[in-house]
Structure 1
Amino acid sequence: NWNRSDLFTSDYLEGYEENQITDFLPSFNTRVSYTHYRLSLPNDDIRFLISGNYVLTAWEPGNPDTPLLVRRFFISEGSSSAAVVFRRPMKPGATETHQQAEITVSTGTLAVTDPYRQITLTIMQNGRSDRMRAGITPDFVGSGRLEYNTLSDKTLMPGGNEFRYFDIKTIRQTRQNVRTIDFVNGIYHALLLPSEDREFKPYFFNEDFNGRYVVAMEESNEPDREADYVWVWFTLPAYSELRGGSVYVAGDFCGWQHGPANRMTWNPARGCYEASLLLKQGWYNYEYLFIPAGGSGPEGYAFEGSHWETENDYLILTYFRDPTRRYDRLTGITLANTRPQ
């Protein structure tokens, strides 16, 4: 899990727990002024000592309780491996909408004495914390081999849909799924084409980045400091406002978070949901999510639909509870795609 451990800093880190980011550059020739910061880990100030789940937090000087950025990452030992094959689910009600992984873990030289208690898997779809299953125990145990089969629903996940996308790598003319680009009050505004409701439409493949984004611009090889920020306007027509929750536009660009910044508002006069986000030039994947009031994650497939054929990336994390240690070792990470090349 992502709860803070009871380890001392010196148990998992060599160096200082807090460090200044000293690699930064001001923006150049942009309408929106900003500072671009860069951090590489490990570096001369920090070296990681053990495997596991880590959290990086960045904040302004003197204001650690209000983080500007929070990012999770993993460090693996590479002492175990996993083979993954995807099957179409046979569970009633999930055959058309879900995906299921059949996983075989090789424990290698790990001293496993009780695999049902010591070895657990975490599965993440497209790097999303809201599409994750943790604490998965094996269905079958053999000699140095653990199997997680499709007879149970432990690895069953909604397939979702291929992601929507738009291109704002240039502001001189419109690109994919951008209707207009206007310069208003000293800043560029990109109005996207109205989105369609895909909930009950058949599956259609299109190549995407599985929810990710790339900062880029056509006119420069240094987008880190020369790409501008653009107000991007989203429009999602709907027959009526959904009750009991809120609609969000989400993707890796917002860390898959659901907050005021990416919450859409209902416009009854136009019969649509609307949102505007300040984003850096590039190529973006996104989707619409309905979050019930008081809920922590998406519910149902409103506006997007879900299909077993959807191309997705899955991250398989293998954890080993070593009785001689005070933490769960992350012994292996495997990235698998539902459409292997």
Structure 2
Amino acid sequence: MTKKITSIFMWLTIAVLSALAQPITNTVHKHKIKTVLCHKLGWPLSYPIIGLNGNDQIELSFDDLDGETKDFYYNIIHCDKNWEPSQLMETEYLNGINEVPILDYVYSFNTSIDYVHYNIVLPNNDIELLVSGNYIIQVYEDNDTNNLVLTQRFMVNEQKVNVIPSVKYTMNSDLRKAKQEIDLTIKHSDFNFSNPLEEVNVSLFQNGRTDNAITKLKPQFIKHNELVYNYNRETMFEGGNEFRWLDIRSLRFQSSKIKDISFHDPYYHVELFPDMSVAGRSYYFNNDFNGRYVIEVQEKDEHEREADYVYVHFSIPSQPLAGGDVHILGGLTNWKLDEASKMKYNFDFKQYEASLLLKQGFYNYQIAFKPNNLDQASVSMFEGSHSKAENDYLVIVYYRGMGDYYDRLIGVSQVNSVTSRQ
């Protein structure tokens, strides 16, 4: 009876969320929750995408800086292509008990700040995923779904079609030096569409960003067993530049970007040399993680529980900018353009500043400007923008046929702007 009541409650929760029609985003709801990572198990720099009925698993991990174990639970919500809860009932998208306590955790060891590291791997003995599409892992406390801890997106793919993307220089001469254009062809010899203009939706993502994502693309040309997307302005991205780097894997030895390391109980503080604007400079290739990060400690072995938390102080000289805000952009700020990533202007030192509490590791980031009237940021003001820049692009293909009531994920492809250049 209890399980039935829980299932009904979950269905009512999803129904309410659907009525509100708000996309569910990667969000941390508790300020003591840090370093939320979600990726394919064994591939820390990968996108959180696995195949349906395959052997791959999704790994979600996070730290709780309260330092004491808590009764954390998680459940899974299936979503449509817009990341709003789908119309599927729980029994239609998973087998198992969709209310699972998180029992995989370890305490930090020999760190200045105590924390508990939690880990979830999906699918598992408790949950089997039955359909493709967008999913949310919802972590909550004390078995109360209203007491949310975090929400995290991941995807399950059927790979029914062959997605062939390419990155090219735009034909627009005014934008050729700064923009990257994505063209793609979807080959579907083993998958039939009745009306591709209505049934197929394509989304494009640059690195890990969502603010500049291009969504709901329709095919420009429909050929025999092929859908062709050969747009111009509709599929252009700012090329940007290579990401800046931050190495805090050691607190004993200072990397070239670190000005000073000090300890003020209970935190280490790392002051960086000021970042300088590179807009207007020539482009130089540099290997990077395209905005991602890895947790690592040079002098220790168990990085997940032995890495310390450090306050890192960023700055970049600039005149005060009107009409928008300056943000630190990358995985270290969860790719969010919010208060946590916003830099504040220091009129005494004539620079933008921000302090972030980060776990030891190697990080990538960029400095971006977000106009007040837009949800999308631009890196060109501080980083410049080059069509030659190295970026990763992710192509997602959704399908909803006539009579279907959920969006299937039928194709995924990644392409690199350097290795696929046309």
Inter-partner Cα distance in structure 1 for 2:127 and 2:312 = 37
Q: Secondary structure at the match of 2:253?
A: coil
The one-letter code of the counterpart of 1:262 is: S
Identity of aligned residues (%): 37
- The gaps in structure 2 that reach 5 residues or longer are 1-81
How far apart are residue 27 of structure 1 and its match?
A: 0.1
Task: Please give the per-residue CA displacement for 1:229-269, whole angstroms capped at 9, x wherever unaligned.
Answer: 0000001111x211122211121122211222222111000
Equivalent residue number for residue 235 of structure 2? 155
Q: How much has 1:300 moved relative to structure 2? A: 6.3
Structure 2: which amino acid aligns with 1:191? E
Q: Distance in 2 between matches of 1:323 and 1:265?
A: 51
Query: Is 1:321 equivalent to 2:400 in the alignment?
Result: yes
Structure 1 207/299 Cα, relative in aligned 2: closer, same or farther at 3 Å? closer
Q: 1:283 to 1:233 in 2, by over 3 A?
A: same
| Counterpart mapping for 1:1-341 below 5 A | 1-61=82-142, 64-65=145-146, 67-150=148-231, 152-238=232-318, 240-293=319-372, 295-299=374-378, 301-340=380-419
More helix by share: 2
Provide the alpha-carbon RMSD of the alignment. Answer: 1.7
Residue type at the aligned position of 2:255: R
Report the AA paired with residue 326 of structure 1: Y
SS of the equivalent of 1:2 reads coil
Distance in 2 between residues matched to 1:84 and 1:274, nearest whole Å: 39
Task: Rate the CA distance shift 1:244–1:18 in 2: closer, same or farther, 3 A.
Answer: farther
> Structure with the greater relative contact order (CA < 8 A, sep ≥ 6): 1 or 2?
1
Partner amino acid, structure 2, of 1:201: R
188 and 300 in structure 1: CA distance in 2 versus 1, 3 angstrom threshold: closer
Aligned partner letter, 1:253: L
Contact 1:322 1:329 in 2 (8 A): no
- The question of whether the paired residues in 1 share the 8 Å contact of 2:270 and 2:311 is answered with yes
**CA deviation string 1:34-88 (max 9, x = no partner):** 0000110111111111111112222332664454332211110011111122110
Structure-2 change in CA distance of 1:85 and 1:294 (3 Å): closer
What secondary structure, in the 3-state scheme, does the structure 1 residue paired with 2:357 have?
Answer: strand
Distance 1:206 1:37, change over 3 A: same
Decide whether aligned partners of structure 1 residues 60 and 254 sit closer, same or farther in structure 2, where only a CA change above 3 A counts: farther
Letter in 1 for 2:381: A
Task: Report the CA distance between 1:99 and its aligned residue.
Answer: 0.4
Distance 1:164 1:38 in 2: 29
What are the Cα deviations for residues 170-226 of structure 1, in whole angstroms up to 9, with x where unaligned?
Answer: 101112422221112232111111101122222221111000000001112210000
Q: What residue ranges of structure 1 are gaps of 5+ in the alignment?
A: none
Q: State how far apart, in whole Å, the 2-side matches of 1:18 and 1:290 are.
A: 41
Partner of 2:57: none
Which whole-Å CA distance do the structure 2 matches of 1:306 and 1:227 have between them?
Answer: 35
Match of 2:47 in 1: none
Matched position secondary structure for 1:84: strand
User: Matches of 1:232 and 1:261 in 2, distance apart?
Assistant: 13
Q: Does structure 2 conserve the Cα–Cα contact (< 8 Å) formed by 1:181 and 1:188?
A: yes
Contact 1:166 1:176 in 2 (8 A): no
Deviation at 1:153, TM superposition (A): 2.5
Secondary structure, aligned partner of 1:303: helix
- 2:281 is aligned with what amino acid? K
Distance in 2, Cα, partners of 1:106 & 1:7: 28
Distance in 2, Cα, partners of 1:77 & 1:176? 45
- Tell me if structure 2 keeps the 8 A contact 1:190–1:233: yes
**Cα pair 2:208 2:335 within 8 Å, conserved:** no
Amino acid at match of 2:313: W
Q: 1:252 to 1:66 in 2, by over 3 A?
A: farther
Q: Indicate if the aligned counterparts of 1:24 and 1:36 stay in contact, CA closer than 8 A.
A: yes
The size of the alignment, in residue pairs, is 339
Distance 1:65 1:195, change over 3 A: farther
